[in-house]
């Protein structure tokens, strides 16, 4: 694949995102990748069958249109499901793990090495059964209990405290919630507790890791040993089950689940939705999952957010004695940052970084500045006038020289006005400065253009959408 392909792909993604909006984009397209293009066919892939069929039935034409806007020769999109095998072979497959921020991952190793580094032949499956990294900070001690997570916490605690041979009360324990509400925290707490106190063999795996492990074992013709090793685990903890894909891995997961549950071993699972909504899983797996205890974690209330922040701040202070966060600041963040636990953590990390780098105390004012974009998710990026001219020219099929020229035909006047309006709203340039950059026009001309477009967007929804799209493209 050439680098122009990649660049084009980036533009197509931007276009798509601008058209469908951030939410839709991240739900359906964030994991779509370009596999190549040949002649008139573009090859794209997604990680699950479900995504594939969803995109095909809802967005096929959109995606094609976005490609055609960048590459008119394109007449067909071929969408496939990436196989786990191919993904394990490309270094890219670890991108998610590499991208994890500032944590100091530790491995639980059951008699052996980490799968990530030993994807090549797994000599004996018990050697290959490495767990996913555990974050030392995610334990029961640091988990704050509130109304929205009481039940999930109690159930996880119960599971973690059980001893070998105890009657298993809820099996599987299935925890679900939106992102950042503490599922991984609870699951890792269970893993830590099991590995230290109760001395049961606990294996914590993300669903993706489970797949990679299984596929690697298959390739090494060691699937049987892999299965047996898995079934020797006393507590199996699987995170992000929504990512489990592939017929054979699902079948394997199903066998493992049945084998463990039937022999009284504990299974704990987290996912971003209830079992019934795991549309890519087979019905029998879903019903098995729903057969234990299914608990939802609700969104974090303001009180709970404040408590979490207090704990986090106190923990940070242990490592960074000078890091004092006044209560007023914590209250402000708890009120302002409403999304989820990750943003809370992000907010505190920024304060910490800022106070370390500038050696200044944390104040309300600094907090307001630092977390601004966590409150308003898209902090506008700095946009250049040249970029505006380029993007607008492309959108309206005129040249940049046309925009700067003195031509007054309708097909350039409107784009020119749009470009000036965008220059005024997306940059900090003054009207005279903008005039100069548009072929030496007077600032009153710019003002007129800005007012004109301002009025039009209120009445002309087509134009308003076009402008919204241009803005997004520019701010990407
Ligand atoms: P999920 O797996 O549900 O997406 P995580 O468990 O990764 O969410 O939580 C995101 C962040 O929020 C983590 O830093 C986690 O420690 C923190 N967090 C979430 N809920 C709590 C809680 N009840 N107490 C303490 N920290 C929490
Ligand atoms: Mg998680």
Considering only CA atoms, which residue is closest to atom 10 of ligand 1? 180
Residues 23-48: tens digit of each pLDDT: 678 767 888 889 888 878 999 998 77
CA-to-CA distance for 336 and 428, rounded, in angstroms?
27
> Given this model, what pLDDT does residue 381 score?
58
Taking the centre of ligand 2 as the mean of its atom positions, its distance from the CA of residue 228, in whole angstroms, is 27
345 Cβ below 6 A of ligand 1:
yes
33, 45 contact by CB (below 8 A): yes
Looking up tokens 């944590």 gives 103
CA-to-CA distance for 201 and 235, rounded, in angstroms?
6
What is the percent of the chain where pLDDT is above 90?
Answer: 38
pLDDT band of residue 259 (cuts 50, 70, 90) is confident
Ligand at shortest distance from the CA of 305: 1
Residue 226: is its pLDDT beyond 70?
A: yes
Radius of gyration of the chain (CA): 27
303, 336 contact by CB (below 8 A): no
pLDDT band of residue 358 (cuts 50, 70, 90) is confident
Ligand at shortest distance from the CA of 346: 1
Residue 53: is its pLDDT beyond 70?
A: yes
182 Cβ below 6 A of ligand 1:
yes
Closest by Cα among 374, 148, 335 to 327: 335
Site to substitute for ligand 1 among 175, 181, 344, most atoms within 8 A of C-beta: 181
Considering only CA atoms, which residue is closest to atom 19 of ligand 1? 182
Paired tokens of 265: 């071993």
Q: What is the mean predicted confidence (pLDDT) over 213-226?
A: 81
* pTM greater than the 0.75 cutoff: no
Residue 113: is its pLDDT beyond 80?
A: no
pLDDT band of residue 92 (cuts 50, 70, 90) is very low
Site to substitute for ligand 1 among 143, 183, 185, most atoms within 8 A of C-beta: 185
pLDDT band of residue 295 (cuts 50, 70, 90) is very high
pLDDT band of residue 382 (cuts 50, 70, 90) is low
Residue 122: is its pLDDT beyond 70?
A: no
> Given this model, what pLDDT does residue 453 score?
96
175 Cβ below 6 A of ligand 1:
no
Paired tokens of 64: 């094609």
Per-range mean pLDDT, top range of 207-221, 240-254, 407-421: 407-421
Ligand 1 atom closest to Cα of 187? Answer: 6
- For residue 381, count CB atoms less than 10 angstroms from its CB and return exposed for 0-12, middle for 13-18, buried for 19 or more: exposed
149 Cβ below 6 A of ligand 1:
yes
Considering only CA atoms, which residue is closest to atom 16 of ligand 1? 185
Q: Residue 178: helix, strand or coil by DSSP?
A: coil
Site to substitute for ligand 1 among 97, 180, 302, most atoms within 8 A of C-beta: 180
Taking the centre of ligand 2 as the mean of its atom positions, its distance from the CA of residue 107, in whole angstroms, is 17
Taking the centre of ligand 2 as the mean of its atom positions, its distance from the CA of residue 261, in whole angstroms, is 23
Residue 378: is its pLDDT beyond 50?
A: no
Paired tokens of 151: 């039940």
> Given this model, what pLDDT does residue 197 score?
56
> Given this model, what pLDDT does residue 103 score?
31
pLDDT band of residue 106 (cuts 50, 70, 90) is very low
Residues 297-321: tens digit of each pLDDT: 988 888 999 999 999 999 899 888 8
More confident of the two residues 180 and 194:
180
Residue 411: is its pLDDT beyond 80?
A: yes
Considering only CA atoms, which residue is closest to atom 27 of ligand 1? 182
> Given this model, what pLDDT does residue 266 score?
92
More confident of the two residues 408 and 283:
408
243, 279 contact by CB (below 8 A): no
Bond from prior residue into 461 cis (ω within 30 degrees of 0): no
Ligand 1 atom closest to Cα of 344? Answer: 12
CA-to-CA distance for 391 and 420, rounded, in angstroms?
12
Taking the centre of ligand 1 as the mean of its atom positions, its distance from the CA of residue 377, in whole angstroms, is 19
> Given this model, what pLDDT does residue 50 score?
64
Residues 70-81: tens digit of each pLDDT: 888 889 999 988
Read off φ and ψ for residue 6, nearest 5 degrees: -65, -40
Taking the centre of ligand 2 as the mean of its atom positions, its distance from the CA of residue 212, in whole angstroms, is 18
Residue 444: is its pLDDT beyond 90?
A: yes
CA-to-CA distance for 389 and 268, rounded, in angstroms?
54
Q: What is the mean predicted confidence (pLDDT) over 269-273?
A: 94
> Considering the chain, what is the average pLDDT of its residues?
82
- For residue 295, count CB atoms less than 10 angstroms from its CB and return exposed for 0-12, middle for 13-18, buried for 19 or more: buried
Taking the centre of ligand 1 as the mean of its atom positions, its distance from the CA of residue 201, in whole angstroms, is 24
């Amino acid at each position: 694949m050439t680098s122009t392909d990649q660049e084009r792909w980036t533009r197509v993604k931007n276009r798509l995102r601008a058209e469908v909006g951030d939410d839709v984009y991240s739900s359906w397209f964030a994991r779509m990748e370009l596999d190549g293009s040949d002649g008139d066919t573009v090859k794209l892939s997604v990680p699950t069958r479900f995504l594939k069929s969803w995109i095909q039935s809802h967005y096929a034409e959109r995606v094609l249109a976005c490609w055609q806007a960048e590459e008119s020769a394109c007449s067909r999109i071929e969408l496939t499901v990436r196989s786990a095998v191919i993904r394990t072979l490309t270094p890219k497959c670890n991108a998610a793990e590499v991208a994890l921020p500032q944590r100091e991952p530790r491995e639980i190793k059951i008699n052996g090495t980490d799968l990530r580094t030993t994807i090549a032949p797994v000599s004996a499956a018990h050697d290959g059964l490495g767990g996913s990294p555990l974050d030392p900070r995610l334990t029961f001690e640091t988990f704050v209990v509130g109304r929205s997570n009481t039940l999930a916490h109690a159930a996880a605690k119960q599971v973690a405290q059980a001893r070998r041979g105890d009657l298993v009360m809820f099996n599987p324990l299935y925890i679900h919630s939106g992102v950042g509400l503490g599922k991984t925290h609870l699951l890792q707490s269970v893993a830590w507790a099991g590995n230290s106190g109760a001395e049961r063999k606990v294996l914590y795996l993300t669903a993706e890791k489970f797949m990679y492990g299984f596929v690697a074992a298959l390739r090494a013709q060691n699937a049987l040993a892999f299965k047996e090793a898995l079934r020797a685990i006393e507590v199996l903890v699987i995170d992000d089950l929504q990512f489990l894909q592939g017929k054979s891995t699902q079948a394997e997961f199903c066998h493992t689940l049945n084998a463990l549950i039937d022999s009284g071993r504990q299974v704990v699972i987290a996912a971003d939705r209830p079992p019934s909504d795991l549309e890519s899983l087979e019905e029998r797996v879903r019903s098995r999952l729903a057969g234990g205890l299914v608990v939802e974690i609700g969104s974090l209330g303001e009180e709970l957010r404040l408590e979490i922040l207090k704990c986090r701040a106190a923990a940070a202070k242990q490592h960074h004695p000078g890091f004092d966060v006044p209560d007023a600041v914590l209250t402000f963040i708890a009120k302002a940052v409403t999304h989820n636990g990750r943003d809370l953590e992000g907010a505190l990390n920024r304060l910490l970084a800022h106070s370390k780098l500038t050696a200044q105390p944390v104040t309300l004012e600094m907090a307001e500045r630092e977390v601004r974009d966590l409150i308003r998710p898209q902090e506008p990026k700095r946009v250049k006038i040249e970029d505006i001219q380029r993007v607008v020219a492309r959108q309206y099929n005129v040249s940049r020289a046309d925009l700067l020229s003195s031509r007054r035909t309708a097909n350039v006047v409107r784009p020119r006005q749009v470009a000036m309006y965008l220059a005024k709203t997306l940059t900090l340039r003054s009207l005279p400065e903008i005039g100069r950059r548009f072929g030496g026009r007077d600032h009153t001309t710019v003002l007129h253009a800005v007012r004109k477009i301002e009025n039009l967007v209120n009445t002309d929804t087509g134009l308003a959408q076009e402008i919204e799209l241009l803005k997004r493209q520019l701010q990407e």
